[in-house]
Amino acid sequence: MYQVPDQHGKLAVVTGANSGTGKEAAKRLAGANAHVVLAVRTPAKGEQAKGEILDAHPRAQVEVRRLDLADLSSVHSFADRLISDGRPLDLLLNNAGVMNVPRRTETSDGFELQLGSNFLGPFALTARLLPLLLTAPAPRVATMSSGTANRARIDFEDLQSTRDYSPTRAYAQSKLADMLMMIHLADLASERGRPLLSAGAHPGYTRTNLMTSGPTLDGGRPGLLESLLYKIVPSQGPERGAEPLLYAATSPEAAPGGYYGPRWAVVGPTKATALPRSARDRRVAARLWREAEELVGVPATTAL
């Protein structure tokens, strides 16, 4: 198991920290002496997760704050509160997401739900928190992607999937967008001489409620093929599935623009993973970054 280095004195924000890989990451960071903010959509579930973390680490510093990545006003409120606290932010773990929503659904801001929750919300959050991150001595942004991004492409002509919606294609595009955000942030930080490290991860096939919560939205249900794959494909628990993200966020060996995942693609200990071809096009990454800035109304580039 990956051992998180001592994080004493560091402030960490983990999105989607009430369950799955987010809760495990928060628990491990708290156990390594970080002050951890559980950024969750439902505070009651966050408080339950906090209780579980404190049961394991009674002296841990853990707090719950509400964040709905599908609502830009919530993103701004969360960021404003952190900024008003005035404490440097050392670690931002972009973990939360939704998967394979059966019918096209929109966020409160009119974005396709998977693109909005998985990419545009985290993009806006990262952009708003960049000034706070840059006050820390060695800040990191670790972003969770997915192996499904390997077969995705960014459709700039129908980014919101208004003409042709597919649950799996929209999810894959959103996770490729996360990967491209991670890469472009690393490039910008390097170009501008900033100490910020941006790295990415994927959890392989990890058993969490992500597999069922998205497909059952609006009365949907997982398809027959999905249900069969859930049973026969090798899988692992959140304890192992959170490790690539924790490695990206805390390992001394993690590199800017590095991408980490299970050794055997779907399960196993963490190792460096090659970026798919779709994530290596810097022009696409830069164009998507500009599109995201316009969509969420946050000038992320100037924050660096």
Q: Which residues are catalytic?
A: 171
Q: What are phi and psi of 67, to 5 degrees?
A: -150, 120
DSSP 8-state assignment for residue 112: B
Q: How far apart, in whole angstroms, are the C-alpha atoms of residue 6 and residue 201?
A: 21
Chain centroid to Cα 82, Å, comes to 18
Characterize the bridge pairing of strands 140-144 and 35-40: unpaired
Cα four-point dihedral sign 243, 5, 64, 76: negative
Q: How many CB atoms lie within 10 A of CB 16?
A: 29
Q: How far apart, in whole angstroms, are the C-alpha atoms of residue 81 and residue 65?
A: 10
Q: How far apart, in whole angstroms, are the C-alpha atoms of residue 270 and residue 60?
A: 26
Kindly state the tokens that stand for 15. Answer: 């999105």
Cα four-point dihedral sign 80, 85, 86, 90: negative
Q: How far apart, in whole angstroms, are the C-alpha atoms of residue 278 and residue 285?
A: 10
Q: Residue 276: beta bridge partners?
A: none
Q: Could you tell me how many residues make up the chain? A: 304
Nearest residue to 137 (alpha-carbon basis) of 207, 90, 191: 90
Nearest residue to 203 (alpha-carbon basis) of 122, 269, 121: 269
